[in-house]
Amino acid sequence: LQRMLSIAVEVDKSPNCSSCKIAAVMFPFILNIPLRSQREAFLNTMESQLLRCKLLEQLFQHSCDLPTTLPLSLAKILYFLNHSSVLLPYQDETATWQRWDEMLQYLNLLLMSYQNVILAFPLADHLGSSLSDRMDLIIQKVKPRLQADDDINHLEVQLKIENFISRMQQLLGQPLPLQITEKLHLLQ
């Protein structure tokens, strides 16, 4: 399945468009996967970094009280950190901190996938180039160009992390568990 999805993204003239369409079809099914381990297995085994980005972006957009119109970028990932709620409906009695731990796991996965997409799509519109265009650019060793929304500084990141920690401590009523702290450091 993962190989077929990857091929479906790659054979299109516009991988960005095809990945958006495939992610839109897959999104309701992801919402209905009952166990975290099953969701993580599915997302971690995706061969297409672009499709994973689009699917995770939809998950986070769905979880935001006020969705953003920013293009997928580092700024949007930071936006998700401060505006997302618990992502998925849970059918078991999972502790609140574990739900947030899963959200941070997916945010880290989105960041890593986005970085891989930027390196693999070295055009100004890096999410929209065909495989043959990308191969030509890779052969020419063209460096990827970042978007304006990818230009974030350390202070912005630090402030967003501190806002998240404050929000979590208020919500949980206790210091952050070690797992959440570790994922925040990884994200930072």
- Mean residue pLDDT of the chain comes to 80
Per-residue pLDDT at 151 exceeds 80 = no
What is the per-residue pLDDT across 36-64, written as a single tens digit (0 to 9) for each? 899 999 999 988 888 999 999 999 998 88
Which residues face 64 on adjacent strands?
Answer: 84
Whether the per-residue pLDDT at 187 is higher than 80: the answer is: yes
**125: confidence class by pLDDT, cuts 50, 70, 90:** very low
Cα gap 130→13, rounded to integer Å = 5
pLDDT band at 86 (very low <50, low <70, confident <90, very high): confident
In whole angstroms, what is the distance from residue 179 CA to residue 157 CA? 19
Q: CA triplet 161, 113, 29: central angle to 5 degrees? A: 100
